[in-house]
Amino acid sequence: MKQLFFTLCLLFSVVANAQQKSYKLAITQVAQNYYVFTTYKDYQGSPFPANGLYVVTDAGVVMIDSPWDTDKTQQLLDSIEIKHHKKVVLAIATHAHADRTGAFDILKTQGIKTYSSALTKQLCIEQNEKQAEFVFTKDTTFRVGDLTINTFFPGEGHTKDNIVVWFDKDRILYGGCFVKGMSATDLGNIKEANIKAWPVSVQNTMRQYPMPSLIIPGHQEWAPGYQCLVHTLKLLSKQ
């Protein structure tokens, strides 16, 4: 009887813990047709957010990066179809980490074209991460409906393959993990970072895309103008 009681207590504890760690998908509209989706992963007992972006066009939805896991990805795809009555047609990864490509397999099974740089795909293979189906070898322009999407490699920073994505029509820059969110107090995961090159790469981005209306980082808060890039430079200056 005592053994049964212990087993039941253990089971309830596991279920409660799993429920506690099951964080919700958040979707925030940041401009007309632009939506940040945020998923969470447990980090030292607390939820840590990762941002991605989707943009609605008359020819379908474009997704930049993906949620961490397939469960949240299916929730996101369902939410997009219910809200906008459109399907995702294109997804682009900004570098080779699980919070960028983690759900690319499920996207591919649903007929969504997935892209990354050739270097990102190579690193995904080496690191046993999910990979895009298609690659580009240089800065590339995509067009979906009336939307123009520019990928840009600014130089090494968070990783040696990090790219940013620019939407010229609305002057919105998606920085991924190359750009730090406004509440970040450090550079986060710098295991693969090039700290020396990173500030120069940030300056390259500012020259390439002057006067952005909004910059969206890979984690935490986004902000108008250059604020996130300036904040990134401040954090780099402390290294």
Catalytically active residues are 95, 97, 99, 158, 189
Is 132 in contact with 94 (CB distance < 8 Å)? Answer: no
**What's the farthest any 2 CA atoms get from each other in the chain?**
71
168: which DSSP letter? T
CA 139 to each of CA 150, 170, 191, 203, 233: distance values in angstroms, whole numbers, following the listed order: 7, 19, 25, 17, 23
Is 222 in contact with 180 (CB distance < 8 Å)? Answer: no
User: φ, ψ for residue 125 (rounded to 5)?
Assistant: -65, -45
What is the rounded distance in angstroms from the CA atom of residue 234 to the CA atom of residue 239? 9
